[in-house]
Structure 1
């Protein structure tokens, strides 16, 4: 084998090795690009999934807040209705004070008259004490003077006027009376006799 043939074989082998290396590099580059594309696709899908989950969570939170607001409003309305019903029952059971009834039944007050100017106060004249006449002394041996006019005895009409009126019997008391008792009659007034002794004159 000549030198030219050996060199040709070496060159062919080197070209083959270089082609293989170039093919491997190209394949590795292509494979790397595919891996990068797949990685980017996975990252994008992961980000999209996170965004969807975040949006769903926000929507659920808003729905929960709206539901809580509705429940709070319904609870406030129910509490207000219960308070109003308890107040109405308490007002119905509580007796109305007499002052309010008097105010309701009292007629409208008349307009007040304009105030009058104050009248001048007149000085009070001192009252002189009246001197009583001296009472004459009565001797012990003298007899008291008798009244010239004797006292008139009380008549029946004056006695009836002075005596307190009798209480009239009711129908039940009349029915309860026994049948053999007489019919109740008015007791005539008792006449007082005239005094026999002398009457002392008022000093």
Structure 2
């Protein structure tokens, strides 16, 4: 089976953790900071971090138009936490100058689960991933308030004050989660994305 070549947007955030997780599922992994590096990958991960900072750095490193074009051409992209924010078509509570990639038809509320001290962990079942729920880590996480008709809801929080909030979605080759699977050692979501990239190539 051919190893997919997957890039991790290496401007800010949990870059090393995603690189390790993708390597753990057999992907060839590349750090992406420049348009030429983007050209060499079959799929892209936008890591968790600070979405306003990532938005600014995408422009500074001249990656916005190249990423927009690759998304429009069908390149698989997975965004975790801040990456989910970057893939949304509508953002609530973001900065006025903050811009994403408008990839997934969803409305995302930034920092919906609260501040850093409100971070928590919870089991989340994901459609298409077997062997039980994922142990999901939420850190200043967003949630999805609305989705378009083309968006498949893959996972929701089942317990607590955030019960029934949408935290995992997919639209075509685009995947997003509110939580950080790269921090848990459970590689199933990264394997799911690697399979998505492999199928697309």
Normalised to the residue count of structure 1, the TM-score between the two structures is 0.15
Q: Hey, which of these two has a bigger chunk of strand by percent?
A: 2
Q: Hey, which of these two has a bigger chunk of helix by percent?
A: 1
